Amino acid sequence: MKYLVDGKFRATFRGPFVRVQLDDQFVYDTDEPTTLTVGQLVEFASANNIEINATKKADVVAELNEGLSNLKLREVNEMTDSQKAEQIIIEANENGLGEEETLLSLVNGGVPFKKASKMYTQIRVQLGLEVSASDRKAQINDYLSKKGLKPVEYSDTLAVVAALQSEVPGLTSSQALAGINKFAKENQIEMPKKPKAAKKPKGGFKAQLITWIVKNPTAKQAELEDFVAQNKKPESMAKRYSAMLEVANRVSAGPEESPAVA
């Protein structure tokens, strides 16, 4: 059994899904060998009013574990939304899934629809799969300051975009381009204009569309088609995201998820 223990050795929760949330917490697992010393184990027991008579470590552990099992603690027997999301995002990343597919997996995996988009970004940052907005700006500026930014042609700008994407985890082409342009403006660097024939960085409207669905989980297919048409995008975009809208409709109409902690 796993126990969540605070900085004063007090057991606070038990269950298979307890998780450290503060720097001074740790998880004590009765099914795994412990690195705690005999002195720490005795202190652990004392903090929870558990009497220890043994002196050998194995016997101390046995008495401690028995005492812990008798404590009245709140139990965590189900994954929290955050734990579910982290597991799904890790698997999605290992399988090379994109943002859209991962968001669908999150919702189908039981993560509330309104939380999915925010959790996607937060957890990817925590896992090091991408960086936060502030860290992203700092890394872009640091790279451009060291390497210099003197593009002559727009193709030079795109080369810098590619270089930044290899340096900054999870950086999209649109984020890289926005960071370059902001850096250029702040440092009064003249940038070459984008040729009319050049394609825009991908991902802009996709992000808008996902955000629209998140904010309008009860919308009908016709409303989705109207939104796509208003943005002068092909009708096929509405058909491509109809499955996500159906999931949003289904989740929005269903009962609320029960609390994970009893």
Give, for all 262 residues of the chain, the pLDDT tens digit: 999 999 999 999 999 888 787 888 999 999 999 999 999 999 999 999 999 999 999 999 999 999 999 999 988 887 777 888 888 888 888 888 888 888 888 888 888 888 888 888 888 888 888 878 888 889 999 999 998 888 888 888 999 999 998 888 878 888 889 999 999 999 999 988 888 754 554 557 788 888 888 888 888 888 888 888 888 888 888 888 888 888 888 877 765 543 443 3
Supply 120's token pair. Answer: 């996607």
Burial of 75-99, coded b for 16+ CB within 10 Å and e otherwise, reads: ebebbebbebbbebbeebeeeebeb
Strand duo 2-5 + 11-14: pairing = antiparallel
The whole-angstrom separation of Cα 129 and Cα 121 is: 9
Whether 29 contacts 1, CB under 8 Å: yes
Can you list the alpha helix ranges (DSSP code H) found in 16-98?
38-47, 57-69, 81-94
